[in-house]
């Protein structure tokens, strides 16, 4: 830290560094002990990152083959080696005004795509893709600044449904004030698709507006507040609700599930990076839904929803975790 900026902090900084080093040493001791205790026969104990292990996914788990998952976000890095040869151009479309390509200039969409369908063996590091054999449908609905409008998103949903998407992952949203209505448009879309026999499960990010460490829990945002869209909260590696994760503070915006969403490693344009947010929790649930759908392709969205909820491990209060953390069984 620059002392010119904050000279009085030198002592505090030194103290903090000491605390940090002590914490790191403790973590290292715990980790080394855990590694020593791991059975030698475990073939790939470290082949999956912690988020996948938390979801009960290992190398023997289904891979999402034959399942189409749409990711509506900022696009995808088409040149990323982890997606080389895996993205069908017919499954990519931009809905952002004036932008023809789905190439991701932001990074968020590529990260979400990586969580849903990153490869079994990434170029570097452990596996992070929940459903590596799922077929990705990529709709760019948010600009490279990370924002977009309902009109573009609705259009993309229509397109994704026409492409045969069975699961739609939407790591997007906006804040909603308590006791205000959910988005009628998204609710109508989900209802219409269900009536048409289109099998689309919508998985959405609950929102990041909370500051729980300061005692502030924000309501689930839109469109996650819609009753027919599955709302996902974020937890960290220790299965604690994330500080930013929105909660069920009114009867309108209900939480359904939670998933890893803090310091999640996945693909970004040109490499890998860690990201946090309910955005990162959402594709974990979408990917997990793809695994269940591979196991039973005849599941309707409602049945798939129930399967996910039934598989959830209760982590605590409903308003923080929804029905809990879904685990592959």
Backbone angles phi, psi at 256, to 5 degrees: -110, -50
User: Is residue 211 involved in binding another protein (CB under 8 A)?
Assistant: yes
User: Is residue 282 involved in binding another protein (CB under 8 A)?
Assistant: yes
Q: Please identify, using beta-carbon distances, which residue of 206 and 312 lies nearer to another protein.
A: 206
Q: Please state the closest distance from residue 83 (CB atom) to another protein, in A.
A: 18
Examine the residue annotation and report whether 108 is marked as an active-site residue of this protein.
yes
Give the 3-state secondary structure of 89-136: HHHEEECCCCCCCCECCCCHHHHHHHHHHCCCCCCCCCECCCCCCCEE
Residue choice 4, 37, 89, 197 for contact with another protein (CB under 8 A): 4
What residues numbered 16-45 form the site for another protein, per CB under 8 A?
16-17, 20, 24, 27, 31, 35
Contact (Cβ atoms closer than 8 angstroms) between residue 249 and residue 203: no
Binding-site string for another protein from residue 290 to residue 329, where x marks contact by CB under 8 A and - marks none? ----------------------------------------
Give CA–CA dist 252/291, Å, rounded. 29
Residue choice 113, 130, 142, 285 for contact with another protein (CB under 8 A): 142
Catalytic choice (94, 183, 279, 311): 279
Closest to 108 measured CA to CA, from 283, 300, 328: 283
Spatial CB neighbours of 22, under 8 Å, sequence gap ≥ 6 = none
Contact (Cβ atoms closer than 8 angstroms) between residue 278 and residue 202: no
Q: CA 68 → CA 117, 164, 167, 293, 313, distances in Å?
A: 10, 7, 7, 10, 26
Contact (Cβ atoms closer than 8 angstroms) between residue 202 and residue 308: no
Examine the residue annotation and report whether 73 is marked as an active-site residue of this protein.
yes
Q: Please state the closest distance from residue 76 (CB atom) to another protein, in A.
A: 14
Q: Please choose, out of 56-64, 260-268, 299-307, 309-317, the segment that lies near another protein by the rule CB under 8 A.
A: 260-268
Q: Please identify, using beta-carbon distances, which residue of 224 and 307 lies nearer to another protein.
A: 224
Q: Please identify, using beta-carbon distances, which residue of 263 and 295 lies nearer to another protein.
A: 263
Residue choice 277, 287, 322, 324 for contact with another protein (CB under 8 A): 277
Q: Please identify, using beta-carbon distances, which residue of 69 and 172 lies nearer to another protein.
A: 172
Give the 3-state secondary structure of 56-81: CCCCCCCCCCCCEEEEEECCECCCCH
Q: Please identify, using beta-carbon distances, which residue of 69 and 307 lies nearer to another protein.
A: 69
User: Is residue 145 involved in binding another protein (CB under 8 A)?
Assistant: yes
What residues numbered 84-113 form the site for another protein, per CB under 8 A?
93, 97-98, 106-108, 111-112
Structure-token pair, residue 71: 């990711």
Give CA–CA dist 171/125, Å, rounded. 24
Examine the residue annotation and report whether 174 is marked as an active-site residue of this protein.
no
What residues numbered 151-170 form the site for another protein, per CB under 8 A?
151, 153-155, 158-159, 161-162
Structure-token pair, residue 11: 């002592």
Give CA–CA dist 135/328, Å, rounded. 19
Residues annotated catalytic, as ranges:
73, 108, 279
């Amino acid at each position: 830290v620059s002392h010119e900026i904050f000279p009085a902090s030198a002592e505090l900084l030194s103290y903090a560094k000491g605390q940090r080093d002590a914490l790191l040493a403790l973590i290292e001791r715990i980790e080394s002990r855990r590694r020593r205790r791991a059975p030698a026969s475990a073939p790939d104990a470290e082949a999956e990152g912690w988020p996948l292990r938390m979801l009960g996914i290992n190398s023997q788990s289904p891979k999402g083959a034959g399942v189409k998952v749409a990711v509506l976000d900022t696009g995808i890095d088409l040149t990323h080696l982890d997606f080389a040869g895996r993205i069908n151009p017919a499954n990519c479309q931009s809905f952002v005004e004036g932008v023809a390509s789905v190439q991701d200039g932001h990074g968020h969409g590529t990260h979400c795509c990586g969580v849903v369908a990153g490869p079994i063996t990434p170029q570097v590091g452990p596996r992070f893709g929940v459903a590596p054999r799922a077929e990705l449908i990529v709709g760019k609905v948010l600009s490279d600044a990370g924002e977009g409008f309902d009109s573009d998103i609705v259009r993309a949903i229509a397109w994704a449904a026409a492409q045969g998407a069975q699961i739609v992952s939407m790591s997007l949203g906006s804040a909603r004030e308590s006791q205000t209505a959910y988005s009628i448009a998204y609710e109508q879309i989900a209802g219409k698709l269900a009536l048409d026999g289109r099998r689309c499960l919508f998985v959405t990010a609950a929102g990041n507006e909370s500051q729980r460490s300061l005692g502030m829990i924000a309501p689930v945002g839109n469109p996650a507040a819609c009753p027919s869209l599955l709302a996902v909260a974020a937890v960290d590696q220790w299965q604690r609700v994330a500080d930013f994760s929105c909660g069920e503070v009114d009867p309108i915006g209900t939480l359904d599930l939670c998933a890893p969403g803090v310091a999640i490693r996945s693909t970004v344009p040109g490499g890998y990076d860690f990201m946090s947010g309910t955005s990162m929790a959402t594709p974990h649930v979408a990917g997990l839904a793809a695994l269940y759908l591979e196991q039973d392709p005849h599941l309707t969205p409602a049945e798939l929803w129930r399967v996910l909820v039934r598989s959830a491990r209760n982590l605590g209060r409903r308003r923080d975790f929804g029905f809990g953390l879904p685990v592959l069984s």
